[in-house]
Structure 1
């Protein structure tokens, strides 16, 4: 099955789908003199993202500030690996991480891939979780805002819904006035991208460049390691 060819609307996740989300984290740790082996670095980062998702639910209920979320996700993740971070250390890593995010670059083939996609698909957009200004700033740094129109960029804080709630996918299809089976989502995380898009009735492509294993019975329509694997 070729999900791209069958779909009329293609939406992308942002973090670790359009650029390497691990690189600014790696550089932030290096700056703060926390040098981890490559394998351990990725494992720690996975747990940071896990706790980010867990604490995001608390944040959306107004029970924790965004600044505290970003500090605590680091402390929880590092604690699993026997590294106890003080709040000051976690804050220093987070501050450097934000600076390093100003240097992010899109995966080499992604800009041309999106441009080619837009020549043959009526709708191409982005769906990402996070604070609106923060996520939009990343999109501008990646220069993707010069390709994808703003009205097709959906950020959770702006619409009041966030992945893994499948209603965010239903919201988008209503906004675009398109049936779910004509929509395709491309993302890297199992829980946030694959599961809810499938449950919303979308086709989905798992961008599994980290070579992770499925976490449930859900079956993505395609699995790719890079964008050269997709035939438009």
Structure 2
């Protein structure tokens, strides 16, 4: 564990990101993608392992554009599979639309959490009030949490659509702070994204934990840094 020199405050509220922090986006997505590949695609034209890799690369790129206000949520949905298919020189607009619809219908119902997520929620919920703050699509975030069996742990679930702005903008953090009626000094943000979660928290003066399972090098200065969720027990 790599901690910055930081005095541990008397936290009362913990703000969690959802995708890639608690909910295992990659595993849940891959299950749906493999089902789509099996039902609709030819392995000789689009090999399934390459299909998965290209999807995650395209998806990460589009979400970055979405988080930085360069594309809308609708554009993300419409472009995602079109761009994936283009990488294989495969053009089928109707299938792209169908894949988008099926993916959004099936993936949120997958139940997989990241390692130790459930254990940490059991532990932390006995000591703190837990909340979700997410840029994810509002209509599917609750479905994800219900499917994974974690909805009951959280008191407030704030989406960017509800707040009227996205992480890393200050407004979404201020919106949640207002909802929980607690000074920021008594709140802690936990997330995996250096831009949306960590920079967003730091610019408002909110203590934060960078969940960095791949130990990606960076020059940010989060309050704490962990590589597995179980490490939260060492200081919370």
Query: Against the structure 1 CA distance between its residues 142 and 5, is the aligned structure 2 distance closer, same or farther, given a 3 Å change threshold?
Result: farther
- Asked whether 1:105 is paired with 2:112, we answer yes
Deviates more, 1:196-205 or 1:1-10: 1-10
Residue aligning to 2:201: 197
- Alpha-carbon RMSD: 2.8
Question: Does residue 49 of the first structure (1) align with residue 56 of the second (2)?
Answer: no
**Distance in 2 (alpha carbons) for counterparts of 1:69 and 1:135:** 16
Structure 2 residue 158 is the aligned partner of structure 1 residue 147: no
Structure 1 223/76 Cα, relative in aligned 2: closer, same or farther at 3 Å? farther
CA separation in 2, counterparts of 1:36 and 1:204? 37
1:136 to partner: Cα distance:
1.4
Structure 1 pair 93/110, CA: closer, same or farther in 2 (3 Å)? same
Residues 22 and 117 of structure 2 are in contact (CA less than 8 Å); yes or no, is this contact kept in structure 1? Answer: yes
| CA spacing shift, 1:157–1:71, aligned 2, 3 Å | same
Larger gyration radius, structure 1 or structure 2: 2
Gapped regions of structure 1 (runs ≥ 5): none
- Please, what TM-score do these two structures have when normalized by structure 2? 0.78
Which stretch shows the higher mean deviation, 196-205 or 91-100? 91-100
Q: Secondary structure at the match of 2:208?
A: strand
Other structure's SS at 2:126 match: helix
CA distance in 2, matches of 1:55, 1:195: 16
Q: Any unmatched runs of 5+ in structure 2?
A: none
